[in-house]
Amino acid sequence: MFSKLSVVVTSVLITLAAAMPNTTPPVTTPTSNQCCNSVVSSSSAAASAVAALLGLDLTGLDVPVGLSCSPITVIGNNCGGTTVVCDAPDEEWGGLIAINCIPITL
């Protein structure tokens, strides 16, 4: 039963990704402190896969990309991942990806 559900969910995500127009995200000065599960190159397969789901085209960008990020709202080092400052519009990308991530030390 769960295998059928995963096939349906995967199919829906692929369909949504194909239906969304690809846009190149702007690379701006990072202003948002984030805790990301990982930070990878914008040319990596993982970054490309997440970007495709969101309708983003990372082709030609050469910046660090944060994956599975959440804003840091309390001062302190309670981040279980990588602490970075990024361009991460939560409204648009829902914490799945952040662009131009620079490591910081809190």
Please write the tens of the pLDDT for every residue from 50-88: 988 888 888 888 889 999 888 887 766 678 788 888 876
Q: Would the pLDDT of 89 be above 90? A: no
pLDDT at 41: 93
- Cα separation of 23 and 83, whole Å? 27
Please provide the DSSP assignment of 50-67 as one string. HHHHHTB--TT--SEEEE
Cβ(51)–Cβ(57) below 8 Å: yes
Domain layout of the chain by residue ranges: 2-103
Nearest to 38 by CA among 27, 30, 49, 46: 46
Q: Which of 20-24, 66-70, 93-97 has the lowest mean pLDDT?
A: 20-24
- Cα separation of 67 and 51, whole Å? 10
Q: What pTM value is reported for the model?
A: 0.67
Q: Average pLDDT over the chain, rounded to whole? A: 74
